[in-house]
Amino acid sequence: MSDAYDVVVIGGGPAGYPAAIRAAQNKLTVACIDEWKNRDGSYAFGGTCLNAGCIPSKALLESSELYVRAKEEFGTHGVKLGSIELDLAQMQKRRASIVKTMTGGIGALFKANGVVGISGHGRLLPGNQVLVKASDGSEKTLQAKDVILASGSAPIRLSTVPHDGELIVDSWDALEFDAVPRRLGVIGAGVIGLELGSVWRRLGSEVTVLEALPELLTFADQTIAKEAQRHFKKQGLDIKLGAKVARAVVKGSAVDVTYSDAQGEHTLQVDKLVAAVGRRPFTQDLLAEGTGVALDPRGFIQVDEHCRTGAAHVWAVGDVVRGPMLAHKGKEEGVMVADLIAGHYGDLNYKVIPSVIYTAPEIAWVGQTEEQVKASGRPYKVGVFPFAASGRARAMEAGQGMAKVIAAKDDDEVLGVHVIGPLAGELIAEAVLAMEYSASTEDIQRTIHAHPTLSEAIHEAALAADKKAIDAINR
């Protein structure tokens, strides 16, 4: 291994590994260092997303949803099964195997692109040097023309809710339970709380989600949030809003959780407690003295709109910098930086980053919520189409939820699209593309959508914004 590279990337998660691959595609010499260690002690690229986040959670969401559908829905289709049993060990084996395949795939991508992958810890030194403590114990200093910091994030720990990995756990632990907890407590009705709460509720846990804020999904469009709340309630997720957790104490094999709401203080007893109260930027032992890289008051690495830090030729991308903590946001930042380093064009439209919550129904959106547009004072129009009126959704036994398009009254520009319903996360891609090209509702209205598809819901919602929907009554 030569000690000099054009680019050294610290962190091989969804922000770091795409940066490394694009830099290599740009004919630069690249090393990517990652210290992620799985529970069995093995090193793996892919960061939080592939090892303990996006991928394992989606594997369990899919399996648990199939379990519920087999129990509750197949009969409606005329499909009769014998007794349906949960084989959690097999479900977890499948989850682990998907993770292993996906993380192993990064090694293959590195090899094909000529990226040198190094398992171990990286620390930025002044002068664009990186001290590597490799997994085999060896130490080496790499010289880089450019360094990309992509060290990611870690779960926020509440000091009064002491994590023990057994009874009081984080999202990673909760993805690897080997038995279904009878009573599961979740602190936080954010994306993690709702996705993990859904998994274990579907598999049989009594799930109580304690959320400090008085409303659910405050960052989403409130029409969609209210619809989601209705569905979660029907599914048996007990979401207590305005319930701020003060502390949790292990009592034998259970956990006593103390929270307060408008009525006063309460104690809830659960068998496992998941803390899902947000994530913080991770920069532990990343920066030596004198690198010139600054952190903001919340601990994020300070960067400009093109992810340049205060130090020349040092960049930072992904969860460790400002903006939503989403894998696709980090990926596009990594790619942008690798292109800029190579002297190519690179930019990122932060206004059109899609969000997806993989519950059932799925929730997805891009752009502004109706509340944000209203607050901006810009006159707007709204079109809504319910999936109950979609033939494809009906055929899928998924006629719940809606698509909602918000557009400017003056020039018809699409300002936001919000979907709650089947495969909302897939449907939103059309809206992202439309908004990336500053489309109007008329552009979507005049675009042919195949029939019968779920995508017709976006088409009809765009038509409804001008009271021209065909398959729903215009209001």
Site for ligand FAD in 131-160 (CB under 6 A): 150-153
Query: With contact defined as beta carbons under 8 Å apart, do 279 and 287 qualify?
Result: no
Site for ligand FAD in 250-289 (CB under 6 A): 282, 286
49 is a site residue for ligand FAD (CB under 6 A): yes
Q: With CA atoms as reference, report the closest residue to 358 among 65, 13, 47.
A: 65
Give whichever of 60 and 357 is closer to ligand NAD, judged by the CB atom.
357
Site string for ligand NAD, 424-463 (x = CB under 6 A): ----------------------------------------
14 is a site residue for ligand FAD (CB under 6 A): yes
Q: With CA atoms as reference, report the closest residue to 117 among 215, 27, 242, 13.
A: 13
CA dist 96 and 42 (Å) reads 13
190 is a site residue for ligand FAD (CB under 6 A): no
CB of 272 to ligand FAD, least distance (A): 15
Which one of the spans 191-199, 223-231, 408-416, 465-473 is the region binding ligand NAD (CB under 6 A)? Answer: 191-199
Longest CA pairwise span in the chain (Å): 69
Which one of the spans 48-56, 298-306, 341-349, 373-381 is the region binding ligand FAD (CB under 6 A)? Answer: 48-56
CB of 36 to ligand FAD, least distance (A): 3
266 is a site residue for ligand NAD (CB under 6 A): no
CB of 81 to ligand NAD, least distance (A): 30
Give the sheet arrangement for strand 244-251, strand by strand: 244-251, 254-261, 264-270
Give whichever of 301 and 341 is closer to ligand FAD, judged by the CB atom.
301
Interacting residue with ligand NAD among 9, 32, 106, 187 (CB under 6 A) = 187
CA dist 276 and 200 (Å) reads 14
How big is the site for ligand FAD, counted in residues (CB under 6 A)?
35
Give whichever of 330 and 361 is closer to ligand FAD, judged by the CB atom.
330
Which one of the spans 11-19, 69-77, 394-402, 405-413 is the region binding ligand FAD (CB under 6 A)? Answer: 11-19
Give whichever of 334 and 416 is closer to ligand FAD, judged by the CB atom.
334
10 is a site residue for ligand FAD (CB under 6 A): yes
CA dist 425 and 99 (Å) reads 21
Site for ligand FAD in 98-117 (CB under 6 A): none
CB of 326 to ligand NAD, least distance (A): 5
Is the bond leading into 452 cis (omega within 30 degrees of zero)?
yes
Could you give the residue numbers annotated as active site?
A: 451
Which one of the spans 50-58, 265-273, 344-352, 409-417 is the region binding ligand FAD (CB under 6 A)? Answer: 50-58
Cα atoms in the Cβ-side hemisphere of radius 13 Å centred on 428: 24
Site string for ligand NAD, 310-339 (x = CB under 6 A): --------------xxx-------------
β-bridge mates for residue 144, sequence order: 5
Pairing of strands 153-155, 254-261: unpaired
400 is a site residue for ligand FAD (CB under 6 A): no
Which residue type is seen at 262? A
56 is a site residue for ligand NAD (CB under 6 A): no
Query: With contact defined as beta carbons under 8 Å apart, do 434 and 428 qualify?
Result: no
Which residue type is seen at 58? K
Site for ligand NAD in 356-395 (CB under 6 A): 356-358
Which one of the spans 1-9, 216-224, 325-333, 432-440 is the region binding ligand FAD (CB under 6 A)? Answer: 325-333
Interacting residue with ligand NAD among 167, 191, 415, 444 (CB under 6 A) = 191
Using alpha carbons, list the distances in angstroms from residue 244 to 193, 197, 233, 278, 341.
14, 17, 20, 14, 46
325 is a site residue for ligand FAD (CB under 6 A): yes
Which one of the spans 143-151, 332-340, 355-363, 376-384 is the region binding ligand NAD (CB under 6 A)? Answer: 355-363
428 is a site residue for ligand FAD (CB under 6 A): no
Instruction: Summarize as ranges the residues that interact with ligand FAD (CB under 6 A).
Output: 10-16, 33-36, 47-49, 53-54, 57, 121-122, 150-153, 171, 192, 282, 286, 318-320, 325-328, 330
Instruction: Summarize as ranges the residues that interact with ligand NAD (CB under 6 A).
Output: 187-193, 195, 210-213, 244-245, 276-279, 324-326, 356-358
